[in-house]
Chain A
C-alpha cells in the first residue's frame, strides 16, 4: 500500500514525458467543465419535486398535505415546489443544506419514518427543525418570492396589513413566526410547549424562577 502511494506520488511529481503542456492544460480545462457541469446537473436533479416525491415518505405524507394548499394550486397557477421552500437558492448555502441532507439519506436507509405512524411520531421534531432554519435565515425561502418591498399592503385585508406593518416591516418577527402550517399540517402544538417530567411543587417553583 505504502509502495503504491509512493509510486503514484512520484509519477505525479515528474513532468509529463509524452503529452504537451498545451494538451494537458486544455484537457484539464475541458474535463473541469465536464465534471463541474456534471456535478451541478446531478445536484439540480436532486432539487426537483420528482426526486423528492420519489420516496413514499415524502409522497404519501408531506406532498399529499401540500396539494390542497395555496402553494400547490391557486388562481394564477404560480406554484412552489419542494426545493423552493426547503433548499436555499444561493450556491454555498445550497451545498451546506445538501450536506446536512445526507443525514436524511441515513434515515431513509434505516426507515426512521417509513410508516405514517412513525412519521407522525417524528413530526414535531421535523417541523421544529424547519422552523428553526427559517427563523435563523429570516425566512429567506419565503422572501425569494414574497418580497417585502413589492408587498402592497393596501391590497391586503385590514387585519393582514396591520399585522405586517406592526411585525414584518419593523423586523420584530419573520414570516415563519405567524405563518406556520400553511403548506403542511401542523404537529401537536400542545406538545411543542409542554413541560415534561417532574410535576412536584418544588420543580414548578424552580421552573418559574428560571424563567
Chain B
C-alpha cells in the first residue's frame, strides 16, 4: 500500500516537475505555444556611424562600422574589396585588408587575399542596436589589470 503511495507521489512530482520545467526553460519561441505565432521583434537598426570601434581584445576582428546591405561576396565578386583592397584605398580612404589576409596556411604571402580569408563576414560583422539576448559579463583586460594593480596597492 505504502509503495503505491510513494510511487504515485513520485509520478506526480515528476510530471509537475516537467510541467514547471516547460515554463522556465528559455526557448527561442519565448514560451509561445507551438500552434501560435509570436509577434516578431522590431528589426534592429544597423549602426552606420563610420567610426572605428575599440577592439575588445587585440585578436578581435575589427567590427564593420557601416551598413553592408546587399553586399555581394561570392566566387564572382567581393563588394568589400571594392574599397578595402590594396589598390582601392587611395580612392576610398578605407582601411586596407590586413597583410595577414594575404598569407596562405604556410605563411607565404600571395598576390591577393587568400581564399581562406576571402569571405569577410565570417569574422567581420556590423553592429546593431538590438537588445542583448543574454547578459554579457565580458570584462576588458585593462579593467582586470586596473583591478589587480588596485588590490596590490592596497596590500602594500
Q: Are B70 and A182 in contact (CB under 8 A)?
A: yes
Chain A residues near B77 (CB-CB < 8 A): 181, 185-189
Is the CB of B151 closer than 8 A to any CB of chain A?
Answer: no
0/1 interface trace, chain A 159-175, chain B, CB 8 Å (1 if under):
10011000100000000
Chain B residues near A70 (CB-CB < 8 A): 69-70
Partner of A189, one of B49, B67, B76, B92: B76
Q: Are B76 and A69 in contact (CB under 8 A)?
A: no
Partner of A181, one of B50, B79, B92: B79
Task: State how many angstroms separate the Cβ of B54 from the closest Cβ of chain A.
Answer: 19
Is the CB of A25 closer than 8 A to any CB of chain B?
Answer: no
Interface residues on A, range: 10 to 19
> In the complex where A68-B70, A157-B50 touch, is A163 in contact with B79 (Cβ < 8 A)?
no
Task: State how many angstroms separate the Cβ of B4 from the closest Cβ of chain A.
Answer: 64
Q: Which residues between 133 and 184 of chain A lie within 8 Å of chain B, taking CB atoms?
A: 157-159, 162-163, 167, 178, 181-182
CB closest residue in chain B, given A69 = B70
Tally of B interface residues using CB under 8 Å: 18
Is the CB of B72 closer than 8 A to any CB of chain A?
Answer: yes
Chain A residues near B66 (CB-CB < 8 A): 157, 159
Chain B residues near A167 (CB-CB < 8 A): 91
Is the CB of B98 closer than 8 A to any CB of chain A?
Answer: no
* Cα separation A151 to B87 with both chains bound (whole Å): 29
Chain A residues near B69 (CB-CB < 8 A): 70
Q: Are B92 and A163 in contact (CB under 8 A)?
A: yes
Is the CB of B75 closer than 8 A to any CB of chain A?
Answer: yes
0/1 interface trace, chain A 58-87, chain B, CB 8 Å (1 if under):
000000000011100000000000000000
Partner of A157, one of B48, B78, B79: B48
Q: Are B76 and A186 in contact (CB under 8 A)?
A: yes
Chain A residues near B75 (CB-CB < 8 A): 188
Chain A residues near B91 (CB-CB < 8 A): 167
Q: Are B76 and A188 in contact (CB under 8 A)?
A: yes
CB closest residue in chain B, given A183 = B70
Task: State how many angstroms separate the Cβ of B50 from the closest Cβ of chain A.
Answer: 4
Chain A residues near B67 (CB-CB < 8 A): 157
CB closest residue in chain B, given A162 = B93
Q: Which residues between 30 and 74 of chain B lie within 8 Å of chain A, taking CB atoms?
A: 48-50, 66-67, 69-70, 72, 74
Q: Are A185 and B70 in contact (CB under 8 A)?
A: no
29 of the cross-chain contacts (CB-CB < 8 Å) are A68-B70, A69-B70, A70-B69, A157-B48, A157-B50, A157-B66, A158-B50, A159-B50, A162-B93, A178-B82, A181-B72, A181-B77, A181-B79, A182-B70, A185-B74, A185-B76, A185-B77, A186-B72, A186-B76, A186-B77, A187-B76, A187-B77, A188-B75, A188-B76, A188-B77, A189-B76, A189-B77, A189-B78, A190-B76
Ordered nearest first, which 5 A-B pairs have the shortest CB separation? A186-B77, A189-B77, A158-B50, A188-B76, A159-B50
Which positions in A face B, CB cutoff 8 Å?
68-70, 157-159, 162-163, 167, 178, 181-182, 185-190
